[in-house]
Structure 1
Amino acid sequence: MADANISIQVINETETDLQRTLEVNRPVKIAIISVLGVMITLSNIAVVMVITSAVSGWSRNSRYFLLSLTGADSAFGLLIMPLNLCVSFMKEYNEGPDPFCHVVAFFNATIYSTCMYTLATISLERYVAVFYPLKYSTLLTRKRALLLISFAWIFPPVLLVPISVPAGIIEVSFSRASLVCNPMYSSNVSYSLALTCLIFFPCSAIMTFCNLRLWIAAKRQRLKLRKHSWGGGYRPKVALRVLVPVMTVYFACWTPCMVIMLYNAISGSGVPEWIEFIAVWLPTSNGFLNCIFYFWINHSFRKKFHVLLQRLCLGLCPGADTDSGCVNSAESSMAPGWNSNYSLHERFSSVSSNCTLLTLMTTETNIREPEPA
């Protein structure tokens, strides 16, 4: 009996120490989440400013898909982070799971899933544009592009609606380690495994297949250009420089979260505090990194952003044009002679890589196809 009391006392002291540690680390975590939310929001606002204007080298469908990605990424900073921080403050006075936490967990899972589906549709659009350039307009019409985008936004909520039901098929609780309303995946292993099989694995497979094929094609064309000394292989270098970081960042951000989800579902156990925090919030950082790899790497995007920023500065300070020469720089950046050369040059580094390999792949396709008799 005495040994049992000692064991209970040790367990209680351990739990008290854990709770104390969680409370000490909570301000640091809140600061990290807040800074990340501001970075995601500001970067995606800049992206929306540029995408809504004309950018050379971007097709209409590409802009639709990228606007969808921007919307999903913006939801991380405008919806996911405020909701979870709100719950973290409310939990000071309301312990245990509640209906609001179920709703927050539903929004968390929905936005995460929509982002993955959107990244997969972008890869699919890029694949069709590069490998089927002559059939692109018939294979991926405007209607089909909008249907793909609609599917990426509608299917996840339908699939994840059981999470929003307080007395549903899966339990939800607030995690003090990650400051997030998380489903307890071990409470329904079958449903948890079904989510990974319908969301993460299909999206990852599509992205890996499409980007791997694009990477192989870019590398092959680079070797051909190097062999024949045609321009130093600039266009394939652009594709190689974009494709590898995109896939690396995707798997680096999403795999830890999925691994912990599967581990929790199968074993019913948790992971150390900071490992859980980093793994849960890594996918949201993908919303900021997407702005870098899908937008900021593109020279035409940066140039357009600089022009819009100069116009905004001139609108706020009209008298600054004579001192700083902003008007002259903006006008020179939009001059007809510069614009024609720049537009031709930036076709090779389109954000969706459509123009990176399109010309080369079209030529190769024409060579392969026999001429009609």
Structure 2
Amino acid sequence: MRSKIFAVLLSAIVLSSCSHADKPVDMTEKKTAADKFEIGTVSEKALSSYVRLPGQLKPFNEVNIFAKINSFVKQMNVDRGSLVKKGQLLAVLEAPEMLSQVQSANARFLQAQESANASREKYRRLKEAAKEEGAVSPLDLDNALSKMKADEAVVLSERSNAASMRDIQSYLNIRAPFDGMIVQRNVSSGALVGPGKSTDQPMLVLQDTRKLRLEVMIPEAYVDKVDLKQKVSFVFNALPGKDNKAFISRSANALGNQRSEAIEVDVPNADQRLKPGMYGEVKIPLVLGAKSLTVPNSAIVRSTEREYVIKIKEGKAVFADVKEGVIGDDHTEVFGNIKAGDKILLHASDEVKEGQAID
């Protein structure tokens, strides 16, 4: 029994002495600073042969109808949703003072005609009398001729003035400038209307929706890559599943305020299923072989103020602002102060500071 106890104590002493002499070794691999960053490169390659952009339908023709003169609405013949034909009477206006002005112009024209007729007859008689020598002096004959020509000039002037007043009177009848549909009616009988500015509310808004314009804004980066020889493909959100194809009908050939060029595709709408204002997704074909700079999606740092990638230059982090283009499943097209082959962080974040050492 004592021998067993002694053996146990001896083993404990030996184990205790070993624990103080040799500590256990940690075999797990320690992480180095380099393991915190994964480095990649900017690549240059051909992307998809098309780009997806939003488009909006607009009426082929649209006009805001205003009154040409100050007047009152006497009668409205159309309402919102009315289909109208070119030349159809839409509204009748009234301006009491206009009627008196027309009558006055007609009266002056008639008076001028009578004066011209009298001058003409006087000159004719004097000319007949002048055939007898000494009956009429040459001066009187010349004065009569001058008076006749002056009166005839007054007739022409008053005739033009009367015609102008009749044209102005015709402004009281508002007619449709083209076939279409009334989409807005903002006045009723008795309302005071007049010539308006572009910011004023029109009497009526007329749209031609038998054919629509699909407007798409092409970003500056793709303006020179659009393939005009191929049809664009588009699907409307309101009519999913129906794929449409058509050629680009026209383009602005200039960049707007958002650094993009407007293009239009004519869309037939005989059945009136499509409505102005509808949105759709448009696939714009690009010229094949065009190459772009791409980076992995995770390499782009996005914030409310900027978008950038982190380049590695001389072992330090350098921020390079970029703009995104086509976004793929794993790569994104970028534009900015970068070039193919530049070293970048693959998993960038705002925790990395500019100028930070990247080992």
TM-score by length of 1: 0.22
Higher strand share: 2
**TM norm structure 2:** 0.22
Asked which structure has the greater RCO (Cα within 8 Å, sep 6+), the reply is: 2
